[in-house]
Amino acid sequence: MALPPLNDTIAAIATAPGVGAVGIIRLSGRDAYSIAEKLFEPRQEKAVRELPAGRVVYGQIFDNGHTVDEALLLTFRAPHSYTAQDVLELQTHGGPAVLREVLELCVKHGARLARPGEFTLRAYLNGRLDLVQAESVLQLVNAQSESARRNATLGLSKALTEQLNLIQSDITKVYGNIQAMFDYPDEGVPDAEFSEPLQRAIERIDELLATAKAGQIAQKGAKLALIGKPNAGKSSLLNALLGYQRSIVSEIPGTTRDYLEAPLSIEGIPITAIDTAGLRTTQDVIESAGVKVARDIAANADLTLYLIDSHETLDAHDVEMLGFLDIERTLVVSSKSDLEHVWSPNVLSQKVYSVSAVTGEGLPKLKAAIKEKLLGDVGSSQLWITSERHAEALQKTKDFLLQAMNTSDDLAALDLEQALRAL
């Protein structure tokens, strides 16, 4: 794909589509100030092209002598701007018609429409951001949870880049030592200058890879399936987790025949909770289809809550279902804990979480268990790998390093080249 030209001036609406109190049009490029001067009139005598960086100027946007809107003009001078070029932002009222009109004026006076992501592309190509930071910008914009926002902010602050630089430094030192050995073969490469740096690099990679699952869940979210027999309290628990009534609750068994999805956040993790049909043998064709779908959803969910009614007798069906489910991706919930218990959680080998959707008893512990089950022991880690591409590249790097540690020096040099390329 050919890169767009970098020496022209681009313009785009920088705020999200829709109606708002304020909208922003951004200009970047060598003619940004001269273009703005043709459509913006400050309420002071100084011309736009003479304005220093870091100014906020009040004025009017005009076209052929007619006022389009009142606006604020924000000034940034190269290289101290997002794109490392001259940048201007026009803050207008946020109506779509106003923003379109101002953008058309920018194009009329010499700018071109920016391609998607082109401001960040210029920031990267001009050395303002590295590639990891550029990706973090998108992750920050798309963040749906506090954990995703936190991790994107760390990426933007170069925390991940610094870790990668440490790994790269160790590999490069070993590679340099091997190249020197080719010139002085009698000296060889001491173990402290070969195995130790590579082992240190592998350990750092392992620390990052250990966070990949949690990072991808924090970024993309997780699927949480609620399954159990009819009237086990699935719909009530869903409503309790949401904090409002989303699913119909009834004492009549088989009320939920199809599955129902609802987005929520648990302990900062974006989650799609799925309320499924009650699991039982039935002659009803529709309900039977819902039962099959429920099993499929449980098999593909990131985590399953299997609900057992605390004041109904534990039967063979519950035991059978617990044997069917992946216990590593399942939490057993004893529902309706505000009612009299007729079975003891001690009869099951799995840990059981007692919850009441009516009183809220047990909900905090269940939410904490959901977080721990989804994120594992990296919940407090300072940096997560959230990109599948990053995880794949790190794994390739590790594989080449392991090969380098178990082969001859000349072949090790080739493996280290491949490791650096992957990194």
Q: How do residues 176-203 score in pLDDT, each as one tens digit?
A: 888 888 776 666 666 667 889 999 999 9
Comparison of pLDDT for 108 and 322, the residue scoring more:
108
Residue 96 has pLDDT above 50, yes or no: yes
**pLDDT for the residue 318:** 80
**pLDDT for the residue 146:** 78
How far from 108 is each of 10, 38, 49, 65, 379, CA to CA, in Å?
Answer: 12, 10, 18, 15, 52
Q: Read off the amino acid at residue 395.
A: Q
Residue 170 has pLDDT above 80, yes or no: yes
**pLDDT for the residue 5:** 86
- Report the share of the chain in percent with pLDDT over 70: 89
- Report the share of the chain in percent with pLDDT over 90: 49
Residues contacting residue 14 through CB under 8 Å, at least 6 positions apart: 24, 25, 26, 89
Comparison of pLDDT for 256 and 106, the residue scoring more:
106
CB 300 within 8 A of CB 326: no
Instruction: Give me 281's structure tokens.
Output: 């043998």
**pLDDT for the residue 256:** 47
- What average pLDDT does the segment 306-325 reach? 83
- Measured in degrees and rounded to the nearest 5, phi and psi for residue 266 equal -120, 115
User: What's the mean pLDDT when you consider all of the chain?
Assistant: 87
Comparison of pLDDT for 389 and 26, the residue scoring more:
26
Quick one: pLDDT band at residue 361, thresholds 50, 70, 90?
very high
Residue 23 has pLDDT above 90, yes or no: yes
- What average pLDDT does the segment 156-162 reach? 91
DSSP string, 308-357: EETTS---HHHHHHHHHS-GGGEEEEEE-TTSPPSS-GGGSSS-EEE--T
CB 223 within 8 A of CB 302: yes
Comparison of pLDDT for 297 and 369, the residue scoring more:
369
Quote the CA–CA distance of 377 and 374 in Å, as a whole number: 9
Residue 409 has pLDDT above 50, yes or no: yes
**pLDDT for the residue 10:** 98
Residue 252 has pLDDT above 50, yes or no: no
How far from 180 is each of 170, 375, 402, 413, CA to CA, in Å?
Answer: 16, 44, 21, 11
Q: pLDDT digit string (tens) for 275-305?
A: 886 665 444 544 455 556 777 888 889 999 9
Beta-strand relationship, 56-63 and 40-42: antiparallel
CB 339 within 8 A of CB 310: yes
Quote the CA–CA distance of 185 and 12 in Å, as a whole number: 59
